[in-house]
Amino acid sequence: MAEKGDLGVLGGYDFVTANLGLSARAYPGERWMLGVQVEGRRDVWRSRDTSERPDPVADRFVVTSRISSAVRKRGGAYVGVEGTLLSARFYNSETETLTLRLWGVGFGGFVGAERRLSKGWSLQAEMMLRPLLINMYYEQIDVFEFMEEGIGFQGSVGVNYRFGGGDAQPPLRPSEAVPGEGESGEDESGEDDVSGEDGVPKYGEEGVPLY
């Protein structure tokens, strides 16, 4: 059985925004993992003038939660699919306030690799592509049309701490048993062996055979 799961910190970049977040993953089996991560994103490329943007997203800040499942491969590499819930702070020109609203739901896949650093700690790198977005803001479905917003393609690096599972040793095979273990003067029934060589019974002091 694989370790129970891990917690991590990750940072990413997608040519338009930078992100920083937390992740949690669980391992229901040897080759599967389920995870969720929450990220804060910030625009590092566009002008602060929101009139230049197709969506009135103020301050270029997006929170992303991610649910994924992946098949573990040899060498720490894995692939998987994901669904992403996107939200953002929008500027309301009428009230001149910022409001956190649902932006959309994205779907895609990812590939990654993980390398162990020390006991419990590992380094993770991923590339994610989300070509499909159900846009709640415009009430439409976008296919590869929202990547200019910096949420369709992303590379990230993270550090994880894995917990549970321990380093328990597997049970020994008969050939690996400790010599002499289980050897005693008693048979399986717990009674002393009183038979002589070649099955000939031993005799007591008065000549009575012992069985």
Rounded mean pLDDT for each run of 10 residues along the chain, 211 residues in total: 79 83 86 86 61 45 68 73 82 76 86 89 92 86 69 87 59 51 50 56 65 58
Whether the Cβ atoms of residue 158 and residue 23 lie closer than 8 Å to each other: yes
Q: What is the pLDDT of residue 19?
A: 86
Rounded Cα–Cα distance for residues 117 and 197 (Å)? 61
What number of other Cβ atoms are within 10 A of residue 103's Cβ?
26
Question: Could you tell me the pTM of the whole model?
Answer: 0.63
CB burial readout 41-61, b (16+ within 10 A) else e: bebeebeeebeeeeeebbebb
CA 141 to chain CA centroid, nearest Å: 29
What does residue 190 show for φ and ψ, rounded to 5 degrees? 90, 0
Specify whether the backbone of 45 is left (phi greater than 0), alpha (psi in -120 to 50) or beta. alpha
Provide the token pair at 64.
Answer: 């992303």
Q: What is the pLDDT of residue 139?
A: 86
Rounded Cα–Cα distance for residues 114 and 103 (Å)? 31
Q: What is the pLDDT of residue 189?
A: 52
Q: What is the pLDDT of residue 156?
A: 93
Largest CA distance in the chain: 115
Any idea where the domains of the chain sit in the sequence?
Answer: 5-163
Q: What is the pLDDT of residue 27?
A: 83
Count H helices and E strands in the chain, helices first: 0, 11
Residue type present at position 112? G
Provide the token pair at 167.
Answer: 């380093």
Q: What is the pLDDT of residue 145?
A: 67
Residue type present at position 146? F
Q: What is the pLDDT of residue 99?
A: 76
Q: What is the pLDDT of residue 50?
A: 46
Q: What is the pLDDT of residue 194?
A: 52
5-163 belongs to CATH 3.10.50.40 = no
CA distances from 200 to 58, 168, 206 (A): 98, 47, 17
What does residue 84 show for φ and ψ, rounded to 5 degrees? -125, 130
